Amino acid sequence: MDSARQIITDLLHEAGVTVGGSEPCDLQVHDERLYDRLLAQGSLGLGESYMDGWWDVERLDEFFEKIFRARLDRHHSTRGKWFWAWMRARLLNMQTKSRSKRVAQRHYDLGNEFFQDMLDPSMSYSCAYWEKAGSLEQAQEDKFELICRKLQLEPTDRVLDLGCGWGGFAIYAAKHYGCHVTGYNISAEQIHFAREHAASLPVEFIEADYREAHGRYDKVVSVGLFEHIGPKNYTNAISLASQLMTDDGLFLLHSIGRSGSSTHVDPWIEKYIFPGGVLPSMSQLAGAIEDRLIVEHFHGFGPDYDRTLMSWYANFVEHWDRHREKFDERFYRMWCYYLLSCAAGFRARRLHLWQWVLSKHGVVGGYRFTA
């Protein structure tokens, strides 16, 4: 029987990665226990052993791009752990109102100062639009403008922002289009920041679950929410948007997507980054939309997320010294792993970014949008 070291070395060789090699993507092992840990724990062991300093790679993003392109994550998995994760997701709703608060507490409430150093001034924590932009700030502003134009915003519009984050889109739409925006979010830190920066604009931020949204709106927008709500809630979320939208309204859904359908997420991401998060597939979203809303426009620009994540990573590293006293070295390695592995996922086209424009009954005369 081959040793654990031989099995891992051979697998990495299939992806063009050499253990102890000289290329920036090559694996440098600091603890020989790594090989047994990877065979026993799969992706969870890979991430935790990196956090523990058992291995390094000069260019972690290039390492993961090779891994993803070679689909090594499908060669080996800890089947028992994945089976129970699958069963749990099938039998339970892992994104109930009470469970959904975990991601706010674990991730979004790390502190506004931390995210201010990593993100752009608008605090947009979703894919930027790099079609014409030369900086992260401009790319995020261009993303907001793209959404506004797709929604055909008017000053008289009442807009609902489901999962409004730090309020970047709501503030932009109110400032540049004069419309009234109501945002819902469960993160106390984000809501506090959003309210402080909305000034005298016609914007209202409500600290509540998106399922508690009520009222009547001309336009509805959801940016980065569906990644957190789980497959059991896609249909209800789409139905909610439809119920809250006027008959001639529009709904823009902006979400990361994955190539294949799943009911669970990578165990390392689940444990350390986004508890309860599951990325939707095309068929899962389409199934939720079917017979409920009309697809007027679809736009995919996943490669822009690679550049966005690499910009966040550069900012994170540049400002790390400001946060050393609050977070330890293990946290630093965890965030490098998170940002760079996700960037590689988009670069390898395993992850995607989708925008859907949806209407209730179909736009009379047809929907028109020119980029």
Contact (Cβ atoms closer than 8 angstroms) between residue 352 and residue 319: no
**What span, in angstroms and rounded, lies between the C-alpha atoms of 25 and 250?**
45
Whether residue 193 has pLDDT greater than 90: yes
| Between 288 and 95, residue with greater pLDDT | 288
Name the band, by pLDDT with cuts 50, 70 and 90, for residue 1.
Answer: very low
Instruction: Identify the three-state secondary structure at position 329.
Output: helix
Percent of the chain with pLDDT over 90: 80
Name the one residue in this structure whose structure tokens are 């249909």: 235
Least reliable range by pLDDT among 52-56, 100-104, 145-149: 100-104
| Between 292 and 74, residue with greater pLDDT | 292
Return the pLDDT at 107. 63
Whether residue 90 has pLDDT greater than 50: no
| Between 284 and 260, residue with greater pLDDT | 284
Whether residue 83 has pLDDT greater than 50: no
Return the pLDDT at 82. 37
Name the band, by pLDDT with cuts 50, 70 and 90, for residue 109.
Answer: low
Whether residue 94 has pLDDT greater than 80: no
Q: Which residues, listed in sequence order, are joined to residue 205 by a DSSP beta bridge?
A: 183
Q: Which two tokens stand for residue 131?
A: 């079609």
Return the pLDDT at 73. 66
| Between 188 and 343, residue with greater pLDDT | 343
Mean pLDDT, residues 229-251? 96
Please indicate whether residue 25 is annotated as part of the active site. Answer: no
| Between 240 and 43, residue with greater pLDDT | 240
Domains of the chain: 4-77 (no CATH), 97-359 (3.40.50.150)
Return the pLDDT at 40. 87
Mean pLDDT, residues 93-119? 67
- The CA distances from residue 100 to 96, 107, 185, in Å, are 6, 12, 11
| Between 371 and 137, residue with greater pLDDT | 137
Neighbour count for residue 109 (Cβ, 10 Å): 17
Return the pLDDT at 275. 86
Whether residue 95 has pLDDT greater than 60: no
Whether residue 93 has pLDDT greater than 90: no
Percent of the chain with pLDDT over 70: 89
Name the band, by pLDDT with cuts 50, 70 and 90, for residue 85.
Answer: very low
One-letter amino acid of 346:
F
One-letter amino acid of 221:
V
Instruction: Identify the three-state secondary structure at position 357.
Output: strand
First to last CA, the chain: 58
Q: For the segment 29-40, what is each residue's pLDDT rounded down to a tens digit?
A: 999 999 999 988
Contact (Cβ atoms closer than 8 angstroms) between residue 37 and residue 30: no
Task: Give this prediction's pTM.
Answer: 0.91
Name the band, by pLDDT with cuts 50, 70 and 90, for residue 260.
Answer: confident
3-class secondary structure per residue, 102-162: HHHHHCHHHCHHHHHHHCCCCCCCCCCCCCCCCCHHHHHHHHHHHHHHHHCCCCCCEEEEE
Query: DSSP characters for 19-33?
Result: BT-SSTT-BEES-TT
Name the band, by pLDDT with cuts 50, 70 and 90, for residue 91.
Answer: very low
**What span, in angstroms and rounded, lies between the C-alpha atoms of 126 and 101?**
19
Q: For the segment 133-177, what is each residue's pLDDT rounded down to a tens digit?
A: 999 999 999 999 999 999 999 999 999 999 999 999 999 999 999
Q: Which two tokens stand for residue 325?
A: 């006293």
One-letter amino acid of 261:
S
| Between 48 and 108, residue with greater pLDDT | 48
Mean of the per-residue pLDDT values of the chain:
90
- The CA distances from residue 149 to 102, 209, 252, in Å, are 34, 27, 11
